[in-house]
Amino acid sequence: MNNTQSQVYDVVIMGAGMAGICQARHLLLNIPNIKIALVDPRPEERADKDMKVGESTVEISTLMICKELGLYDYMIENHPPKFGLNFHWPKDPAKTENTDDYFHLWATRQPPLASVLINRPKFERDVLKMNKEMGVEFYNGRVVDVDLTSGDELNSVQVKVGDQQLELKTKHVIDAAGRKFIIGRKTDNLVFGPENLYGVNNGSAWMRVRNVDRTIFHSGYDPENATCSHYYATNHWMGHGHWVWMIPTDTESMELSIGLVHHHEVIPAQSVNTKEKFSAFLEANHNVVYQLLKSGEEVDFHYLPRLAHKSKQMYSRDNWYVIGDAAAMFDPFYSMGMTMMSFQIENVTEIIRAKFAGEADVERKRVVYNNFAVNMIARNNHLVSHHEKQLGNASIMSWRIFLENMWWFGVLIPMYIGKWHLDLPFLHKFGKQGRGAVVAETLEEAYKLFDKLLEKKQNLGFMYTHRTDELPFGYSITKDVSKYIGLSKYEPKHCNIYAEMRNTYFFVALWYLKLLWKGFGLSGLLAPKNVKRVLTLLKISAQSYVDELIFDYQTRNIPTNSAVAKQREEFKNYQPRTELQPWQNLATVDANDTKLPELVKVGS
């Protein structure tokens, strides 16, 4: 082996998968002249079988990829569109031959914000190439060790490339290497086990198939129920202790990713951990998906016995950071892994940018962003707690999905669009007043009520996420999103998040009252614990309304969109012109060239 060679970089990113390449591009776009190294043992031309759990984005991760990384055109030209989330529950678990055998929660229309499905090997290969063209150094090698120093001393990453041993020195080191957990294991930063993860104890099996006969699932014709494709969505097939995903990843080869997330308390690993067992499980429990799988050509199979984990710390004062799967993963149910990654990427870039600029409050930023990331991950952990009991109940899960979408569209999306997750005063208020904690507490209390209703075997009815007649006053989950999108409030802090929070907390209170009334009657409504929960939600709604009014007053002279305001100002001097600009020298044109062609007689 050759002697160790040393190189110095501003940032070394360990892992050139989804998180690593997106973080590198975001840094390049936001910090001029930054010097970045990317390290990954996989070659630049990713193998066709280099697949992960899930290949689907949602609104926030799509905004990060398309808006913040400037990849709109690339995604349109290379990856399938996505039309929301569909959920399916068997009417009779013993009969699952076709979609008529299921109750459905269909996406009925185009979503207000686009999202995409991703062919992961293609995306990672292409964006890695873009990063290299922008100046990133790619080391096709394996991280042997990392020496993390204290404070602002240079860290050292030991890399083996072929027969060479390289030492990459850097102030900032980012672990985006997924389940290798390079920094997590080095610093004892990882948390595993259901006792630490709100009871989540799950595993996953998945495979891809090509050239499927998608008509087995749906003919594509549904003129009275939808204005979007059912096939090009993330389809969730639900059952006791499990759910199955069905995600198109390529339009030319008709490739599908089909995967199972199972909870060990209900479905033991040894019953689904091979391709044959996985197929047999689908044949018995979701035969329509099994038929889809068998209609195509098998590409690969994977099994992961333990999905869920999280980190104690995301961004260290010693200039190391964990993002993506290296930081946390619970369940791909809502594709929240890439959502958490999107927030993390922007947090990390802002910390590093502030350090480069020598800003006085950089340590405060790091502390606040780290606390925000840790708490956000805890709240996302709640989103899949109690799944082992509730997934197979169509009534309860439809109510649950409605509630979780209220938080998603009412708080998280406006937070991301308005860059409120980077605003220290807002994050301080959000944490100090307990507004974020109330989200987790409300979810947990609702899930406990659902468990009680499961014991009673009570049918609450079916709650349709996409309809506007489930709650009073014509409430729609996406109403406020459409409002600020319609005004192009895409610049930082142009979206009044307090208005969205006021609306969301108020309607969550109404949702809670409806649940109590339908599930437990008057005694449930008047139970002191439940009354306190509703009053807490209404209190925060009122606090948010005050903040909304203050924010509106403070920003009364700021346009909703600067580009629109500039064009309107310029347009005041617009004068219509009826003449054309000269485009040729008539003096040099042959006289015959200026004659109009003779009209051709009809029938000639």
Say which range, 116-120, 270-274, 312-316, has the weakest mean pLDDT.
116-120
Tell me: pLDDT of 434 over 80. Answer: no
Structure tokens at 577: 């012109």
Tell me: pLDDT of 112 over 80. Answer: yes
pLDDT tens digits, 418-429: 999 999 999 988
Tell me: pLDDT of 485 over 90. Answer: no
Rounded to whole angstroms, the Cα distance separating 198 from 403 reads 19
Tell me: pLDDT of 476 over 50. Answer: yes
What local confidence, expressed as pLDDT, does residue 6 receive?
84
3-state percent helix, strand, coil for the chain, nearest multiple of 5: 45, 20, 35
Residue where the block lists tokens 């400037």: 70
Quick one: DSSP state of residue 586?
G
What local confidence, expressed as pLDDT, does residue 1 receive?
44
pLDDT tens digits, 140-184: 999 999 999 999 999 999 999 999 999 999 999 999 999 999 999
pLDDT tens digits, 205-221: 999 999 999 999 999 99
**Residues ≥6 apart with Cβ < 8 Å to 22:** 64, 65, 69, 127, 341, 345
What local confidence, expressed as pLDDT, does residue 93 receive?
95
Tell me: pLDDT of 604 over 50. Answer: no
What does residue 443 show for φ and ψ, rounded to 5 degrees?
-60, -50
Strands (E), 163-201: 164-175, 190-191
Rounded to whole angstroms, the Cα distance separating 190 from 194 reads 13
Arithmetic mean of pLDDT, 466-494: 89
Tell me: pLDDT of 246 over 90. Answer: yes
pLDDT tens digits, 400-411: 999 999 999 999
Q: Are 288 and 99 in contact (CB under 8 A)?
A: yes
**Residues ≥6 apart with Cβ < 8 Å to 596:** none
Rounded to whole angstroms, the Cα distance separating 136 from 140 reads 13
CA proximity to 138, closest of 69, 46, 73, 4: 46
DSSP string covering 302-331, please? EEES---BEES-SB-TTSEEE-GGGT-B--
Residue where the block lists tokens 């293609």: 122
SS (H, E, C) 11-42: EEEECCCHHHHHHHHHHHHHCCCCCEEEECCC
Q: Are 313 and 190 in contact (CB under 8 A)?
A: no
Q: Mean pLDDT in the chain?
A: 93
Residue where the block lists tokens 């003449």: 579
Arithmetic mean of pLDDT, 295-302: 93
Arithmetic mean of pLDDT, 316-330: 97
Confidence band, pLDDT 50/70/90 cuts, at residue 48: low
Tell me: pLDDT of 596 over 90. Answer: no
What local confidence, expressed as pLDDT, does residue 588 receive?
63
Q: Coil, strand or helix: which one is 105? A: strand
Rounded to whole angstroms, the Cα distance separating 289 from 238 reads 12
